[in-house]
């Protein structure tokens, strides 16, 4: 069985030693080298051509993000798995934009670390569970914000009824008869809903209704 060749990059000797000790327990991984910063990592990649680089972010001389960008550009066959103590989106998105194939926390178990290396070596992406949870929470928050900002969702039930009938082409008098309310009340709802939706005439109102699927052609 051909082993996966791994280069470990971290500026703390004790951290590198610990990582190498953990990975040495996996029979399919081969630690071919170590580097203390991004600049040294670039040299080692050119010299050793590892399959996977396990890359720290915060390092002197050259940081992990810049080193990752250069490795992914100059050595596309070498995959980069970023290993960091920072578990938040402030760091995650720049890491992915740099070209890294994965993002894993230093708090991860050795089995997860080995699994991440195997995954990116196969050409897949790998995110540690804590990062995946972060992204799900971020997406849900964004979705809620978008939903709360949707003008249509701010309409009352009656305003939606008036909106639909207006879009269907009914007159103020017809809407009043359908909903059993006065024409003056219809006009009040019409004024309010058009202000909420930011539309200024019947044509814009119909276009909006079509986009929202309130009516169909």
**One fold for 4-128 and 151-212:** no
Q: Quick check: helix, strand or coil at residue 3?
A: coil
**CATH of range 151-212; options 2.40.440.10, 3.65.10.10, 1.10.10.10, 1.10.240.10:** 1.10.10.10
Q: Helix, strand, coil % (nearest 5) of the chain?
A: 55, 15, 30
Q: Quick check: helix, strand or coil at residue 77?
A: coil
**CATH code assigned to 4-128:** 3.40.50.2300
Question: Tens digits of per-residue pLDDT, 15-74?
Answer: 899 899 988 888 899 999 999 999 999 999 999 999 999 999 889 899 999 999 999 999
Other Cβ atoms closer than 10 A to 60:
10
Can you give the pTM of this predicted structure? 0.62
Question: Tens digits of per-residue pLDDT, 78-131?
Answer: 999 998 776 656 667 788 888 999 888 777 667 788 999 999 999 998 887 767
In the chain, where are the structural domains located?
4-128, 151-212
């Amino acid at each position: 069985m051909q082993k996966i060749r791994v280069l470990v990059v971290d500026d703390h000797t004790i951290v590198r030693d610990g990582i190498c000790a953990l990975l040495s327990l996996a029979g399919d991984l081969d630690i071919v080298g170590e580097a203390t910063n991004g600049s040294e990592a670039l040299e080692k990649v050119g010299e050793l051509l590892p399959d996977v680089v396990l890359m720290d972010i915060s390092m002197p001389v050259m940081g992990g993000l810049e080193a990752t960008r250069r490795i992914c550009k100059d050595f596309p066959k070498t995959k980069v798995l970023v290993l960091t103590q920072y578990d938040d989106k402030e760091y995650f998105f720049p890491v992915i934009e740099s070209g890294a194939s994965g993002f894993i926390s230093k708090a991860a178990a050795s089995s997860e670390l080995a699994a991440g290396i195997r995954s990116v070596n196969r050409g897949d992406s790998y995110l540690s569970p804590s990062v995946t949870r972060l992204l799900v929470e971020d997406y849900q928050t964004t979705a809620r914000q978008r939903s709360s900002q949707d003008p249509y969702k701010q309409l009352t039930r009656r305003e939606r009824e008036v909106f639909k009938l207006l879009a269907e082409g009914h007159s103020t008098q017809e809407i009043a008869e359908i909903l059993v309310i006065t024409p003056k009340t219809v006009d009040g709802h019409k004024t309010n809903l058009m202000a909420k939706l930011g539309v200024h005439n019947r044509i814009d109102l119909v276009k909006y209704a079509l986009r929202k699927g309130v009516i169909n052609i």
